[in-house]
Amino acid sequence: MDSNANIIVHEVGPRDGLQNEAERLSVSARLELILALAAAGLPRIEVGSFVRPEWIPQLADTGELVRQLLAQKLPAGLRMSALVPNRTGLARAVECGLREVAVFMSASESHNQKNTNKSIADSLREFEQLIPEARKQGVTVRGYVSCVWGCPFEGPVDPKRALEIGRRLVSFGAEEISLGDTIGVGNPRQTREIVSLFLGGDAAGPGIPAGKLALHMHDTHGTALANCLVAYELGIRIFDAAVGGTGGCPYAPGAAGNLATEDLVSMFTEMGIGSGVDLERLFEAGAVAQRHIGHALTGRRLQAAFGRRAKLAVARAAT
């Protein structure tokens, strides 16, 4: 198969997945989950964040988690990253040994204020300093742009505003821009229009190459896979997903979980499109996540796999 046809899965379960769960997982539980995800062949894993613990207590102790991860024998080529809100977060990430970070902001003024306590203009001023500083230290930076498909407070969002933010982040030195359907309301036609705009640009400036774009879809309306397929047909190859469909945004009321990693990988695998991920080991990682989180996860393929295994166990016991 042409390697250019393969997808790259950016696993966000240990960060975006866990931040909206009521259960606060210990460092050892998070370590077990990340190692299981790495063993499944996921090439990129977002392991946590360096925001203030009172904001997201579920992700406290990320520095200790990273130090323990880096002491493990990890798969060759595994890329690990963490979210940083400011230069203090960047310094903490670098101090514990991470070489990749992500910054985040929204295309919606209201959501940006709720999520970061800053205006869009203030966030851009912050990242105009932070991203070059990270690059000088040899740290790769990814930029998240939330609410591209819609906002829980403002409703529809002008995608041209999101494109301008993406262009600015790239001009600062961001290697990649992840476009977020934070409340999971996108439909395939809208996705085609948004991705085409980002690729082709507008009167205000050029587009962003497909290789620098990723999609981060939530699945509130059950359309995340359809949206990913449309984006794939337009040339996008990087997709964010969370083990078991965990997650949601604490500052986006009504948002469902992320697109489940198992659902994404299964769909593309059945289409003959590779990801380098071992599905059976991915289901095992999902079992680890569900055990620690303490309730059934929403990933459709994960629950189907659990059902098959339960039936096999019953059949074996009967023979």
Domains and CATH numbers, the chain: 3-318 (3.20.20.70)
Radius of gyration of the CA atoms of the chain, in A: 19
Tokens (6 digits) for 206: 């050029």
pLDDT tens digit string along 198-208?
999 999 999 99
Question: Exposure of 304 by Cβ count < 10 A (0-12 exposed, 13-18 middle, 19+ buried)?
Answer: middle
d(CA 45, CA 42): 7
What is the model's pLDDT at position 251? 57
User: Quick check: 281 and 41 in contact, CB under 8 A?
Assistant: yes
What is the model's pLDDT at position 313? 58
pLDDT tens digit string along 213-255?
999 999 999 999 999 999 999 999 999 999 999 986 665 665 6
Q: Which residue has the higher pLDDT, 200 or 307?
A: 200
Q: What is the band of 318 on the pLDDT scale with cuts at 50, 70, 90?
A: low
* HEC per residue, 179-235: EEECCCCCCHHHHHHHHHHHHHCECCECCCCHHHEEEEEECCCCCHHHHHHHHHHCC
Average pLDDT on 115-137 reads 97
Strands 176-181 and 79-83, by their bridges, are unpaired
- Model pTM? 0.95
Residue 161 clears pLDDT 90, i.e. is over it = yes
Q: Which residue has the higher pLDDT, 306 or 283?
A: 283
Strands 176-181 and 213-217, by their bridges, are parallel
147 classed as catalytic: no
Strands 213-217 and 238-241, by their bridges, are parallel
d(CA 129, CA 151): 27
pLDDT tens digit string along 64-89?
999 999 999 999 999 999 999 999 99
Which has the closest alpha carbon to 274: 230, 237, 227?
Answer: 237
Which has the closest alpha carbon to 290: 310, 266, 312, 306?
Answer: 306
User: Quick check: 102 and 141 in contact, CB under 8 A?
Assistant: yes
d(CA 90, CA 81): 11
